[in-house]
Amino acid sequence: MTEIIYEYDGSFEGFLSCVFESYLCKELPTAFSSGEELPSSLFPVRTVLTDPERAARVYRKVAKLSPEAADLLRRGFLTCLPEKELCLYRLTAKLLEQGPRFLRDLSDETLLPVLRAVRHLNGEVHQYKGFTRFSDLGGVLGGEIQPKNRVLPLLRRHFCDRYRNERFFLYDRTHHEALFYQEGKSLICPLDHFRMAPTDETEARYRLLWKRFYDTIAIRERENPRCRMTQMPKRYWGTMTEFQGESYFRPTAAPAGVSGSAAPAGIPAPGTPPAPGPSAPGSAP
């Protein structure tokens, strides 16, 4: 077998086409590359064109040998595992060579890195089901997330079912792509330039209400920042309403036809703890 670097378009089908290519040409890829940075190395580089038919053949074969492995490939491809293509390639090759038995050995050295990466992905998907925040932008819900893995394809069903009668979009800052949904149809597509629409009075009000609820629900005597951090690492905080700075709770545009007086006077600065008066009696020293 000769050794070679494959360059492909970065899609899942493209990757499967690479697998097909390697078997066709009896080559062992030492690295995969998609896009700008080519690894500088002594090995020759070849561009593999994506061929849906070849990709489907590889996928069908894998799924026939083991449906779990097919799922692992699809999910594994969404992870942020370094050199994920190589890991997935090795997994596929081992499956084609040895059959699916080794997949049940959960400490197998080819399987384990993929398994760990997919667990990480699944965990992040679960977290984002809760930690995603939307804003009402004049009837359309819009949100932003900043995940490590490509979670949008796996969040799609959840949010499309939950907000079935809404129109919404969810933008992934890390991978520059967005999920759009409207009337039963959804779409994930790349999006390079994204800016969130301005906030109106009503939206700012609900953000403030939520922030107030969040600050009030904590029991001061039980404060435990480390526990909170374990459950909800700081990297999620950036896109969560309750951790935003003051300006986030002020409107950036007045809604059409409503004058500035819609908000009740005297909204306290966001982030300030609730006034001592109505708070829990007995909680003060």
Partner 1 sequence: MSVPPAIAGAAPPCGEMDVLEKLTVLTDAAKYDAACTSSGGDRRSRAGYIGNTTTAAAGCCHSFSADGRCVTLLKVLLTNRCVYDCAYCVNRRSNETVRAMFTPEELADLTVQFYRRNYIEGLFLSSGVYRSPDYTTELMIRTLRLLRETYRFNGYIHAKAIPGTAPELVEQLGFLADRLSVNIELPSEAGLRALAPDKTKQAILAPMGQIRVRNQQSREELVKYRHAPKFAPAGQSTQLIVGATPDTDFHILRLTQALYDRYRLKRVFYSAYVPVVENPLLPSRDTKPPLLREHRLYQADWLLRFYGFRAEELLEPDRPDFDTRVDPKCSWALRHLDFFPVEVNRADYEALLRVPGVGVVSARRILVSRRVRRLRIEDLPKLGVVMKRAQYFLTASGRMAEGLRFTQDSLLRNLIAAERPALPQAVFEQLSLFAPA
**Chain contacts with partner 1 (rule: CB under 8 A):** 101-102, 104-107, 112, 126, 129-136, 141, 143, 158, 161-166, 206, 208-210, 212-228, 230-232, 240-242, 264, 267, 274-275, 277-283
Instruction: Kindly give, in sequence order, each residue whose CB lies less than 8 Å from that of residue 26, ignoring residues fewer than 6 positions away.
Output: 1, 2
Beta-strand relationship, 45-47 and 134-137: unpaired
Of 14 and 143, the one with the shorter C-beta distance to partner 1 is 143
Of 51 and 136, the one with the shorter C-beta distance to partner 1 is 136
Provide the residue count of the chain. Answer: 285
Of 28 and 218, the one with the shorter C-beta distance to partner 1 is 218
| Contact between residue 2 and residue 27 where contact means Cβ atoms under 8 Å apart | yes
Q: How far is the CB of 110 from partner 1 (least distance, A)?
A: 12
Of 64 and 116, the one with the shorter C-beta distance to partner 1 is 116
Q: How far is the CB of 231 from partner 1 (least distance, A)?
A: 5
Of 8 and 171, the one with the shorter C-beta distance to partner 1 is 171
Q: Which amino acid is at 130?
A: G
Q: Which amino acid is at 275?
A: A
Q: What phi and psi, each to the nearest 5 degrees, are found at residue 26?
A: 50, 55
Q: What is the DSSP string of 231-279?
A: HS-GGGGGG-GGG--GGGGS-SSPPTT--GGGSPS-PPPTTPPPPTTTS
CA–CA gap between residue 156 and residue 158 (Å, rounded):
6
Q: Which amino acid is at 126?
A: H
Q: How far is the CB of 129 from partner 1 (least distance, A)?
A: 5
Q: How far is the CB of 241 from partner 1 (least distance, A)?
A: 7
Q: What phi and psi, each to the nearest 5 degrees, are found at residue 215?
A: -70, -30
Q: How far is the CB of 93 from partner 1 (least distance, A)?
A: 19
Q: How far is the CB of 102 from partner 1 (least distance, A)?
A: 7
Of 17 and 79, the one with the shorter C-beta distance to partner 1 is 79
CA 204 from chain centre, in angstroms, equals 26
Which residue in the block uniquely carries the two structure tokens 């796996």? 154
Task: Provide the Cα torsion 57, 63, 64, 65; round to 10°.
Answer: 110
Q: How far is the CB of 235 from partner 1 (least distance, A)?
A: 14
DSSP state of 11: S
Of 83 and 109, the one with the shorter C-beta distance to partner 1 is 109
